[in-house]
Structures are given as C-alpha cells and as structure tokens.
Amino acid sequence: MTDPILLALLALAVGLLILGCLGGLMPRAVTGGLAALLCGAGAALCVLTLVAQLPAVVLQLPVGPPSLPLALALDAVAALFLLVMLLCGAALTTATAMSDSASAQPDAIALVLGGLTMTVLAGGAVVLALGLATAAAGLWRLDPSTRPLPMIGAAMLLLAALCLMAPAGLAPDFLPMLAAAPSAWRQGVAAAATLAAGVALLAPYRLRSPSVPLLAGVVVPAILYLLTRLLIDLPLLTDSTWWGAPMLLLGTVAAVVYGWRAAGASELGNAIDAIIRQQAAIAGMGLGLCIINAAADLPIAAALALAGTALLSLTAAAAGTLAGLCVEAIVRSAGIGRLARLGGIRETMPATAILLALALLVLSSLPPGGAFAGLWLLAQAILGGPRSGGLLAQAPLALAAAGLAASATLATVASLRMIGIVLLGRPRSARAAGAQDISRGQKALFAALAAVAILQSLLPGGVVRILVQPLLVSLTGTGLGGRAGWMTLSASPHAPGYATLPVLALLLLAAGGVLLATRRYRLEARLSAVWTDGQPPEPTLPFGDPLAQSAGTGFRPALPHMPLRMPILPRLPFHVTQLATAQTGLWTMLVCLGGLLLLGSLFGTDGP
C-alpha cells in the first residue's frame, strides 16, 4: 500500500514547483501565502512522521528516462531535514508576502523550495540531480548574478558517485545500494566525488545565495542532508576510519576560516552569512566524527556526534533565518549595511534589535544557546572517540578539538561585535538615525521564529528525544536513551552533563547583579558611549567625531588612563571603572561572565 504521507509530500513539492513557474502571474501576497500554506502543511506531516516513528517507505513512479524510473523515499533522515527546510520556507514566503519591497520574489523562493524538497525526497540519483538543477534555476531566477554552475556541478558529481555505487544492471537507487558491496576503488572515487560536491556547494564566493535567510533555512539544511545521506546512510565512508579524517579536517578548517571572516567582516550581511556557513562547517565536523566513531565500533560516540550535528542544523536554520530577516529589514530601512555606518538600531528599531540580538546570542557559542548544546555534544564525541592507532590516528581528533574551540570563540566574538556596533552604538548616518521598525505582522512572524530558536536552546534534550532520536536509531542503531532529558544532555547515564536551567539561572543572577551594581554605584561617573572616548558629541558633528568611533574593524578605541573616584573601585584603572558603569560596559561584563559560564558548564566530560 502506498504511503499517504509520502504522496502528500510529493503533491506539496509539485505544488511549490507550479507556484515557482506560474506564481509571477499572481499578486505577490497570494503567491507567498499559498507557498507558506504548502510549507506549513508539509512541516506538520514531517512532525507526524518523526513523532509516530513511522517506518521508511519507497515509491517508484512510472515515469522517467528509459530503465531509470523516478524513485522517492521517506524515512527519519529525510523527515528531519525536510521539517527544517519547510518550516523556514514557510517563514520566508510569509515574510516576502508581507514585504513591500519590489525585489521580493516569493515565486522564485517557491521554485527553490520545490526543487530542494524533491532532492530530499529522492530515492535515487535521477530525482536527486533533477531537484538540485531545479533549485539552481530558482536561485538564478531570484538573482541573475548568482552562479548556478556550482550547484549544477555538484549535482553531476553526486549523480556520478551514485552511479558508481549502484550494482551492475540496476538503477542508481538508494535501496539496492544499501545491500551492495562495491569495490574499494569505487567507494573511494564515490566518496571523493561526494566531498567535492559538498565543497562546491558551501565554498565561499561560489554559491552566492542572494538571500541570507534562504541560505540558512533551506540551502544549508539540504546540503547537510545530502552529506548525511550519502556519507552516513549509504556505504560510502562508513567502512573505514581513514575516510572520516578528511571530512573532519575539512570541516575544521572551514569552521575556523568562516569564523575569522565573520569576526572581521565589514558588512552586516556578510558577517551573518559567514556565521551560517561556519555552523554548517561545524555540523560537517560532526559527520566526520560520526564516521570515525562508527568505524571504530563506538555507537554511543557516533550517536553523540550525529545528535550534535542535528542540533546545530536545527539551531542554525531557525536562528540564522531570523538573523537574516532582521538584517534585511535593517539594511532596507537604514539604507546601508556597512558596520562603519550603522548604529543606534536599539533606539530606532527596538523590536528588530531585540530579535537580532536573540538570534545572534543563540548562534554564538555561549550557554544556554542552542549552538552551545551542539558543540557540547561534539566535544563529548571527541572525548569518546577511538584511543588506538598511535599519534597519527589521534592527530585529527586533537586538531578538531582545537578548531572547535577556536571557531566557537570567533563566532562569539563576531556576534558580540555586531551587537555592540550595530545595536548599542549610536547612529553614524542620517538615514540610520531615522530608520523605521518593522510592521506589526513582521514582528509577530519574527517573534515566532525567535520562540522556536529559544525553545530549541532551552530544551535541547527534548528536541533530541522527540525529533532527533529516530534519526539516531536509523543511522547508528542506537539512541541516546537516558542520556537526554528534557533540559539536560549527558554523555553517560551515570555522569553529570549539561543542564540549561542552572546555567540560565546563573546567567540571569549575574546579569541582575551587574545591573544593580551599575545603577547603585554610578553617581560620580560620567555616562557616555564607549565609542566617543567618554566625550560628548560636538555641536557641529551630530553623529559624533568619526575619529573617536569604531569603524567596524575593532571593538573600541584605547581609553586614557585617568583616575576616577568611586567608593567601590578605588584602585582600578580608568577604562575598567568606566566600562563597569557605562551602559555599553554592561555587555562587556556579560561577555566575561559568559566565558566563565562556558568553562563552568563543561562539567561531566567523561566519555560514553
């Protein structure tokens, strides 16, 4: 009997493709609303599949090239990533329907969503390649300057890899490959082609996604699904520990590089784009760890790595989509995206500023953010990895641990840098000083995305138990079981782990103490923005002296060392006391407290 959920998802994908082709003939609000309804219905079906833990189903369509019928499949792996894509796609199409910008194209977004939905539902190489080619056409239609060749080239590489893995005389479908035992050279060539396709899809300045939220919520989850399906589910890399090392090292290098670019970007959109790609690279590290641990017969360590990858994918999709939408609203209202010209968004666009700050804090590596929970699981997977093979075999794990720490630090620096310059700094242009906040409907939509990201952050164990557990059982043969509570994660049932509630309580207590201290002991301190070196603006320079403001390349100018009378801090230098009493100094102290919490919350690091 044909599965009705798979047929319904196929109908939804076809409907999105039809909207992508003919949606330009209808009003933008109608096209966006219909696409959002289709995406919402598809997300509900994916939740039903995961919660009910329905078995995998395969559907052969009586159409396609000769001897190559189109095959579709739905299991826990496809349902999880499709849930992420459709949920973010519903938010994107709703935002474009509400937008008054002439560049909003919900029909092109629907075409991309339809193509990538077919890619995730693909049960073989033909549907997968057709879906990627359709998505590439949608990206090019969304912005003609986008280069579709990397995605089309990746589709051809994946098609070649799957054809190499297919048994002789059979179609390159997933089901026959699961029982096949291809030769070593075929596995090696197919694995190399798959890794090359992943690099082509995520390489900087190659896939120039015209929309940051589209990249975060739709394109990156689709790429991670392809890597998970081909490298973990199918027998490409799982037969050898050696093949997991290149995947791990490639993800480590990409995570550090993208983190560095995010911390030094001069454009707000480029910084968010780099953070999203960095999260995808860290998720790729988790796939490499899963391959290494599974090949060493460590199923619990493999499950920890895969759970960390899934959590990072969910968090980066929801928070990245929210951050991208907020950035687009700020750039559209302020008229510029350069950090050196932005500022004062907290005063002119308060709702957007709060939502963007929440998204950036969730994406940063500070607890209790959702990204921290994923990083914690990956750290536990590294600690529980194989301990045999000598120094050469241990080098990738050691480098991965160092790269994980470096990329997490850079992500935190980049997030706090944007909060300090764009939100807490004062306006540096006339249009930024007169920016208008988003509409009431957009506030509700963005708040819903923020609620999803916050729930994922506060309930990481619940997300693992409800949504990720079927994927873990399907790919590793075991789940986390008693290692995942609703608000806790643990590497062992009998060892302490990471709990969001105590960390959140400690963070709120520390923030409240700092607020009380700054309000109580600021009578003799002169409050002024850090960007102006403590000096009031000149009458002829209403936006401040440019030489005394941050240009986006650093945190703040050097403050002079001058004595300041304060009863509680009599011997501290001037810049410490000023930062302790100024409003922007509150955030600097919160960064320091967050670093202490990051170290303090890493208790119970015993391996599985």
What is the DSSP code (8-state) at residue 338? B
Partners of 124 in beta bridges: 173
In terms of phi and psi (left: phi > 0; alpha: psi -120 to 50; beta: otherwise), the region of 344 is left
List the structure tokens of 200.
């082509």
pLDDT tens digits, one per residue of 485-499: 778 888 777 777 888
Q: For residue 281, is pLDDT > 80?
A: yes
Q: For residue 591, is pLDDT > 80?
A: no
How far apart CA 82 and CA 592 sit, in angstroms, is 38
Contact 36, 51 (CB under 8 A): no
How far apart CA 404 and CA 393 sit, in angstroms, is 18
Average pLDDT over every residue of 348-355: 91
How high is the pLDDT of residue 549? 54
How far apart CA 321 and CA 92 sit, in angstroms, is 8
| Burial of residue 508 (number of CB atoms within 10 Å: 0-12, 13-18, 19+) | exposed
How far apart CA 72 and CA 49 sit, in angstroms, is 16
How high is the pLDDT of residue 103? 65
How high is the pLDDT of residue 161? 74
Contact 479, 473 (CB under 8 A): yes
The model carries a pTM of 0.82
Average pLDDT, the chain: 78
How high is the pLDDT of residue 437? 87
Across 22-26, 189-193, 277-281, 542-546, least confident range? 542-546
Contact 414, 274 (CB under 8 A): yes
How far apart CA 109 and CA 127 sit, in angstroms, is 20
| Sign, Cα dihedral of 211, 216, 219, 220 | positive
Cis peptide bond N-terminal to 368, omega within 30: yes
Cα–Cα distances (Å) from 227 to 195, 235, 261, 452, 507, in that order, read 8, 12, 24, 25, 36
DSSP 339-375: TTT---HHHHSHHHHHHHHHHHHHHSS-TTSHHHHHH
Q: Residue 260, Cβ neighbours under 10 Å: how many?
A: 17
Residue 314 phi/psi, 5-degree rounding, is -65, -45
Q: Which residues contact 546 (CB under 8 A, 6 or more apart)?
A: 428
How far apart CA 470 and CA 479 sit, in angstroms, is 8
Across 72-86, 128-142, 316-330, 580-594, least confident range? 580-594
Contact 17, 114 (CB under 8 A): yes
Across 106-110, 286-290, 340-344, 540-544, least confident range? 540-544
How high is the pLDDT of residue 142? 80
End-to-end CA distance of the chain: 41
Q: For residue 481, is pLDDT > 60?
A: yes
How far apart CA 569 and CA 578 sit, in angstroms, is 11
Q: For residue 460, is pLDDT > 80?
A: yes
At residue 208 the predicted structure's pLDDT band, cuts being 50, 70 and 90, is very low
| Burial of residue 41 (number of CB atoms within 10 Å: 0-12, 13-18, 19+) | middle
